[in-house]
Amino acid sequence: MTADVLTTLVHALAGDPRLVDDVVASARAQSPESARLPSAESRRHVAALITAGCTAFLRAAEPDDEDFADAQRFGAAGAALGVPVGALLSGVHGGRSRVLEIAIARGRAAGLPDDVLLQGLLRLDRYGNALERNVLDGYRTAERQLDTDRRAARIRLLRHLLLGPDGTEAGEDLGRFGLTAEGRYHCVVSDVSDPARVRELEQAFARCGGVLAPVGGRLSGLTPRLPARLDDQALVVSTPPVPLKNAAAAHRLALAALDAARVRRKAGPHGVTELAGETALAGQPMLAGFLRDELLGALDPADDFHRDLAGTALAYLDRGQRLDLTAGSLHLHPNTVRYRLRRLAELTGFGAAGEQLTVLETVRWWWALWAWREAGPQTGLP
């Protein structure tokens, strides 16, 4: 009976998304520098590590190399984004401690005897030790691949140029990396964290006379010209050329555009001007919430039909309020689109006057509909 309780407990830990969120939050709070890693990537790694650890536990055998593939990748991503190894391991310690706390609390709540709980925690601790070794190994391997000595100099220079003077000198001559005080440069940022892709991008921009390195947790840089071809899967955002005195402001804008593009699940290269609308709207999340609640308060996010109405209205606005284009994009009969828009108008007043919306009205409704759809069904935690 005790074995069954323990097995059920471990299965519950492996499948609990709230546990992943809790562990990620603890790790990032423990080490602000490790929080430079993109949150979605960190969550994916943590989820995989918890699943692998629970699987190894249930096998009643020592974990093997496959159990630590994500630990290796996590360490490599930290090196690729310039997170100090001490900070990365501090985050691992924070997450590991939180897992142990939760395991103890749930084991006691399940009525496990102290000796059984202790044996389980010892096995979990051995897994944690192996996990840390593999994070470190992945970090060191990526360091060797990334030419860290010269890269460290690029990081120092770009931090000075893109984050703004912090009272210290850049420590490196601009000319060492082909930059000039009189030059104008595109500011570039990317959310790439895989070491192989980071290296590819750094080399691609170096061939264009640019300098790329991790700055503040994002691959960032300056380049006199953009590569003719870039990986369509790697999100890269660039500004028009600016003088070096404006590089820090351009970097802040590029980061805002990058975040907006990530929310819209975009990939490939994009200029900030292409993302102007998304960037401007993303800068006012409170206003988006007000619009959503005021214009669409009659819709229920848990109602599939209401979600169909919102999705149809978004498609309608995205296609210039053309009924035929909307029907074609959704593979619906035009009468179905017309019916949904009429029902939405009855519920919310959307296009109730029967006339096409003005540009500003379109923005207002589009923004409200998008924010409502992204919020999704609100479910309480048990």
Structure tokens at 376: 């999704």
Q: Using 50, 70 and 90 to split pLDDT, how confident is the model at 124?
A: confident
> What is the residue whose two structure tokens read 């890693």?
37
CATH 1.10.10.2840 domain residues, the chain: 285-375
Structure tokens at 322: 């053309």
The pLDDT of residue 379? 39
DSSP for residue 228: S
Between 265 and 9, residue with greater pLDDT: 265
Angle value at C-alpha 193, between 188 and 199, nearest 5 degrees: 70
Q: Using 50, 70 and 90 to split pLDDT, how confident is the model at 38?
A: low
Three-state SS at 186 = strand
CATH 1.10.490 domain residues, the chain: 2-145
Query: How large is the average pLDDT for residues 62-85?
Result: 76
Query: How large is the average pLDDT for residues 273-287?
Result: 92
What is the rounded distance in angstroms from the CA atom of residue 153 to the CA atom of residue 150?
Answer: 5
Q: Residues 139-175: pLDDT tens digits?
A: 888 777 666 657 778 888 898 899 876 434 554 568 8
CATH 1.10.490: does it fit domain 2-145? yes
Query: How large is the average pLDDT for residues 41-61?
Result: 70
Query: How large is the average pLDDT for residues 212-238?
Result: 90
Q: Using 50, 70 and 90 to split pLDDT, how confident is the model at 314?
A: very high
What is the phi/psi pair of residue 377, to 5°? Answer: -60, 135
The pLDDT of residue 324? 94
The identity of residue 271, as a single letter, is: G
For the chain, give the mean pLDDT: 82
CATH 3.30.70 domain residues, the chain: 148-282
The pLDDT of residue 60? 61
Report the topology of domain 148-282: Alpha-Beta Plaits (3.30.70)
Neighbours of 10 (CB within 10 A): 20
Structure tokens at 142: 């990526």
What is the rounded distance in angstroms from the CA atom of residue 371 to the CA atom of residue 295?
Answer: 11
Q: Using 50, 70 and 90 to split pLDDT, how confident is the model at 381?
A: very low
* pTM (whole model) above 0.85: no
C-alpha neighbours within 13 Å on the C-beta side of residue 43: 11
| Alpha carbon 295 to its chain's center | 29
Superfamily of domain 285-375: PucR C-terminal helix-turn-helix domain (1.10.10.2840)
The pLDDT of residue 14? 65
What is the rounded distance in angstroms from the CA atom of residue 145 to the CA atom of residue 201?
Answer: 14
- Ranking 25-34, 193-202, 315-324, 349-358 by mean pLDDT, the lowest is 25-34
Question: Is the confidence at residue 226, as pLDDT, over 90?
Answer: yes
> What is the residue whose two structure tokens read 């700055």?
215
Q: Residues 342-376: pLDDT tens digits?
A: 999 999 999 875 678 999 999 999 999 999 998 86
